[in-house]
Amino acid sequence: MKNKTNERGFRLAVAGKGGVGKTTLVALLAELLTHSGYRVLAADEDPQMNLALSLGVPLEEAEKIVPLSRNKAYIEEKTGAKPGSGWGGLLRLNPDVSDVVQRFGLQLKPNLSLLAMGSVDQAATGCLCPENNLLKAVMRFIVLKPGEIILVDTQAGPEHFGRGVLKGFSLLLVVTEPTSTALHVAQKSMTLARQLAIPHLKLVVNKVRGEEDQNRVKAFIERSGIERPASYFLPYTADLLALEPTVGSILTQEGKFTEAIQELFCDIKMLISEKSASTCSSVDKIF
């Protein structure tokens, strides 16, 4: 599998049911990746755009951000069609989006930028409308340089898979809580990710309150018959709630949550650099 970040960057997305902790995880991974020397483009598909707040953008600035999905002038400039014009017409299928980060990216740190993507209406699943076409082009064709990573906070639920935005991604983290509804969404997301041929999937079980929760998840995986994914258990911690919305500093606190995140991050880093997991050790821990 050739996806070396040394050669052409790395595409990573986080998916799952509403409220399970996707944005929290994306914000923490952005922090860890940038500290490890990668350049990160964090892309937010969430219509509420909470990622900006989680990455430390002040509320009054975050409220001014217009996501790409609502940037009518740019969509028309790039696709040749007016947003809302629906199917067909003179839609440019592979719009050149090479200027998108420079024009609309918000540089938060020297090696961290945020791109507010927004999303198209769920009813428009699979549509060839200009908005969807543009978002797809940004995700798929944005050229990453060596050491660059695109990290996507996806819209809640599995519907966005139908729009094909994550095609060509190398790694999908499916976040779930240890509840049956969240696990069903995770199961669906994993099935759809396999159909998109995303080569690496990891299941991140968040807000785990004890062994009973872990056992419930393991039993669900056994019953579901899904190919057993690499699984990680992140404990429930009230410390996160106290830090909201800017959660990054949890990484400086010792505790089971930070330990579990570090373990997950170690494995992600090994995947990005194509080293074997056995080379991941405490020296890779950066906080």
Residues that bind ligand ATP (CB under 6 A): 16, 18-24, 46, 50, 156, 206-207, 234, 236-237, 240-241, 244, 257
∠ CA 82-95-194, nearest 5°, is 105
Residue 42 Cβ, how far from ligand ATP at the closest point, in Å?
A: 13
Q: How far is the CB of 26 from ligand ATP (least distance, A)?
A: 8
Whole-number minimum distance, CB 11 to Mg ion, in Å? 19
Q: Which is nearer to ligand ATP, 51 or 81 (CB)?
A: 51
Least distance to ligand ATP, CB of residue 244, Å:
5
* List of residues contacting Mg ion (CB under 5 A): 22-23, 46, 50
- Cβ neighbors of 165 (< 8 A, separation 6 or more) are 45, 132, 135, 136, 139, 140, 154
Nearest residue to 220 via CA among 265, 198, 267, 188 = 188
Q: Between 137 and 175, whose beta carbon lies closer to Mg ion?
A: 175
Whole-angstrom Cα distance, residue 151 to residue 168?
Answer: 13
- Output 19 or 84, the one with its CB closest to ligand ATP: 19
Q: From Mg ion, ligand ATP, none, which one binds at residue 24 (CB under 5 to 8 Å depending on kind)?
A: ligand ATP
Name which of ligand ATP, Mg ion, none residue 18 binds, using a CB cut-off of 5 to 8 Å depending on partner kind.
ligand ATP
CB nearer ligand ATP, residue 162 or residue 255: 255
**Least CB distance from residue 263 to ligand ATP, whole Å?**
14
Q: How far apart are CA 63 and CA 61, in angstroms?
A: 5
Burial class (CB in 10 A: 0-12, 13-18, 19+), 2: exposed
Residue 192 identity? L
DSSP 8-state assignment for residue 154: P
